[in-house]
Structure 1
């Protein structure tokens, strides 16, 4: 697993040992970033189920200003810290050691607005719709924010108000959906 492109391109990222996390493969990561634009001119990133931190690190490598990486698993937190160190720009990253729900509450008290949000929870949770609603209710999304969701191919999500499906592609058992938020 590596950073594919940008400032940190080619740097190898560590994986979380065991089978508690399901890292996004390089092939899917490359396809995902080609769907939302290969490079960015700034913006704030939130990765709610960061695992290795690879998606947030890739987004910053490609031009986003900073990333908040969230994971509640201790092994994942240790790996995220190691992967942040690989960038040699730790000041661009923040690790929240909590559940996604707790992190959203914390970020809401800070009046944060995110331009890109990655949602890749364990497939069994089936909480994407709930998370989209909470992101909007807590005013954590900038207008025109992109929410990139990784689910099982057969999962269907009922979109809450103010969200629009922009793109969707299947990669084996994985489905990547890109939604855009329109402030109401």
Structure 2
């Protein structure tokens, strides 16, 4: 395995090692953060449709599949990341439930909407230097690809101050882990 050591924490593919990039262009989510995230969303995972935006290695989406998600859409526009996701899906024997979309996130969301995909969980871990979280949430809202009770989770630098409310979504939870924050958005009860 290349680069940083990563593994699937629990479920069908528990303990399987995942490939990571040889360089630092992808910042994998640590096992501690990944475990906390999945503990929080545990009741939503079984038979869910999960979208992993800015997938990188695919580790988050693969963990979701391992824990019982019905289907995961991996979105990344980097060719090396797409190859890593394919390798990791193959090594975990979860490739039949994973859909890889090689394009930018905004276009992928629009395409998923045209295919009538409705997600239960949308996870995004964009490059920390990009201030893109609000525009992605607006795209999700505009295309109506999240179920009524679904959640959006954004991983970002703790220095980044997320907007409390973005269109019809508002922050429902926030967790800080060192320099990383996970912000959870739910639909406003109008």
TM interval, shorter chain, is: over 0.9
Normalising by structure 2, report the TM-score.
Answer: 0.91
Structure 1: 5+ residue runs without aligned partners? none
Q: C-alpha displacement at 1:165, in angstroms?
A: 1.9
Structure 2: 5+ residue runs without aligned partners? 1-5
Q: Which runs of 4+ in 1 moved over 4 A?
A: none
Whole-Å separation in 2 of the counterparts to 1:62 and 1:51: 19
Alignment partner, residue 166 of structure 1: 172
Q: C-alpha displacement at 1:155, in angstroms?
A: 1.1
Cα RMSD of the aligned pairs, angstroms, is 1.5
Alignment partner, residue 96 of structure 1: 101
RCO higher in structure (CA 8 A, sep ≥6): 1
Normalising by structure 1, report the TM-score.
Answer: 0.94
Q: Deviations over 1:130-153 (max 9, x none)?
A: 111110110111111111110110
Whole-Å separation in 2 of the counterparts to 1:123 and 1:114: 24
Q: C-alpha displacement at 1:20, in angstroms?
A: 1.2
Q: C-alpha displacement at 1:183, in angstroms?
A: 7.7
Residue correspondences, number: 184
Q: Is the CA contact 1:143–1:183 (under 8 Å) kept in the aligned structure 2?
A: no
Whole-Å separation in 1 of the counterparts to 2:81 and 2:46: 29
